[in-house]
Structure 1
Amino acid sequence: MATVILVRHGRTTANVAGILAGRAIGVQLDDVGQEQAKRTAERLAAVSFVGVVSSPLERCRQTARLILDHQSPTLTGTAEAGETAAAANATGTHNPLHAVDAVEDDITECDYGQWQGLALSELVKEPLWSVVQGRPSEVVFPGGESMQAMQSRAVAAIRRLDAKFEAEHGPNAVWVAVSHGDVIKSILADALGMHLDHFQRISVNPASVSIVRYRSEQPHVAAMNTDAGDLSWLRTVAAEPQLGGGAGHQAAGHQAAATSGS
């Protein structure tokens, strides 16, 4: 079972302005968002990835690049977004520390349609707002997509990519997906077996880390909305969830060290 680390992009200029950015072009991380993403990248430096996949939107690609900047040169197989590995090698621009493995359209932000670019202070006055909060499975944004469609495409993409990385790198492969708050919340809701109507109970803060393992029986959510803590336990062999809760990551790490004779 491969492991996916779900990372939300850092804080943006639109977040600060209280604007629903949606898929608008040119929305970038602000200074705080850059620092948030850098701290997350420093946390993730303890883990070796087989790949990093990003939403095509700039704020996610900025976050992904900071994560890759903190990875060791052992990360291989990456190429500049939109550029094949062969082309990158041919031009001499292939650098695993300054590249994004892939851009995945299906983990992009929800298409908020006519709501995109509007102030949240105005949107809360719309009748649809209460439906977004309480019954999101019924929501279709005017001129945009439904929240069910957002969840369906995102979950399908994550599961497809997870299976791909496991097939190529084995069951202990770890990879990163950089996406958006509502998208990650919908993925976590699916992994937890929650109806989409309950996904607003989940918080996914800027630059937060959530972790899911797609086991053969059912998904296992190992972490949600974390912004601190050691992640080196992800380098150990993934254990099945234990009846009674098990001994935790630290014990697993000690056991792995003892087995290796160190």
Structure 2
Amino acid sequence: MTTVLLVRHGQSTWNAAGLMQGQTAHVPLSELGHEQARAAAAELRELRPGAMVASDLHRAVQTAEHCMAATGRRFTTTPALREQGYGVLEGRPSRELWDVVDWTDVHWAAQGGESLAQLHARVAGYLSDLQAAPPADVVALVTHGDTIRAAQAVVAGHGPEAMPHTTPHNGSITRLEL
């Protein structure tokens, strides 16, 4: 059995501004986000991960750097742990999207984006590979809210239509067993 510790990145400057981030690569952590990342890193140190992998998006990498400083554990990055892509909607105020996004259709995607079904399939593939060849008994994955929700559904044996509705808080750690 492999324990997976899903660390959600700290608050980003776009989280604070209420902007849709998706896979926009350059978005950094806010000052609060750095505080949240340091707190998550301190908690992670106590959980003793034997390996750490992060999304390659800047906000996750910055969070992983805090985790590395606290645990002494180096990390690798992968695009497999990125947030759901929202294509042309990225950078727009999130509140404007409630009338644009079809939240009921798991196959809906914005132009240039990714559907929940595609996100779910990407995360399922990554977790399957991780389970087949775990780098350690306890693995920390520094990632994003929708990616964590997809991982929760995958591990529970559910499809994308049954992803949890609640997104974990910035700087939180969600524990799953593979």
Deviation, 1:200, is 4.6
CA RMSD of aligned residues (A): 1.6
192, 197, 204: which is aligned to 2:161? 197
Which segments of structure 1 move beyond 6 Å, counting only runs of 4 or more?
none
1:146 aligns to 2:115 (yes or no): yes
Q: Which residue in 2 is equivalent to 1:122?
A: 96
Deviation, 1:194, is 3.2
Please tell me whether the aligned partners of residues 153 and 164 of structure 2 are also in contact (alpha carbons under 8 angstroms): no
For 1:181 and 1:66, the matched residues in 2 are separated by 18
For structure 2, list consecutive stretches of 5 or more residues without a partner in the other structure.
none
SS in 2 for 1:158: helix
Deviations 1:79-116 (A, max 9, x none): xxxxxxxxxxxxxxxxxxxx42x111111121211111
Please tell me whether the aligned partners of residues 54 and 61 of structure 2 are also in contact (alpha carbons under 8 angstroms): yes
For 2:107 and 2:144, the matched residues in 1 are separated by 20
Describe the shift of the 1:162–1:66 C-alpha distance in structure 2 as closer, same or farther (beyond 3 A).
Answer: farther
Q: Which residue in 1 is equivalent to 2:87?
A: 113
For 2:46 and 2:131, the matched residues in 1 are separated by 20
- Alignment size in residue pairs: 178
1:64 aligns to 2:48 (yes or no): no
Please tell me whether the aligned partners of residues 4 and 162 of structure 1 are also in contact (alpha carbons under 8 angstroms): no
**Larger relative contact order (C-alpha < 8 A, sep ≥ 6)?**
2
SS in 1 for 2:47: coil
Q: Which residue in 2 is equivalent to 1:209?
A: 173
SS in 2 for 1:138: coil
1:6 aligns to 2:3 (yes or no): no
Q: Which residue in 2 is equivalent to 1:19?
A: 19
For 1:162 and 1:104, the matched residues in 2 are separated by 16
For structure 1, list consecutive stretches of 5 or more residues without a partner in the other structure.
76-98, 215-262
1:156 aligns to 2:125 (yes or no): yes
**Which protein is bigger by CA-based radius of gyration?**
1
Please tell me whether the aligned partners of residues 6 and 210 of structure 1 are also in contact (alpha carbons under 8 angstroms): yes
For 1:25 and 1:154, the matched residues in 2 are separated by 18
TM-score, normalised with respect to structure 1: 0.64
SS in 2 for 1:124: helix
For 1:209 and 1:119, the matched residues in 2 are separated by 27
Q: Which residue in 2 is equivalent to 1:242?
A: none
Describe the shift of the 1:193–1:162 C-alpha distance in structure 2 as closer, same or farther (beyond 3 A).
Answer: closer
For 2:92 and 2:37, the matched residues in 1 are separated by 25
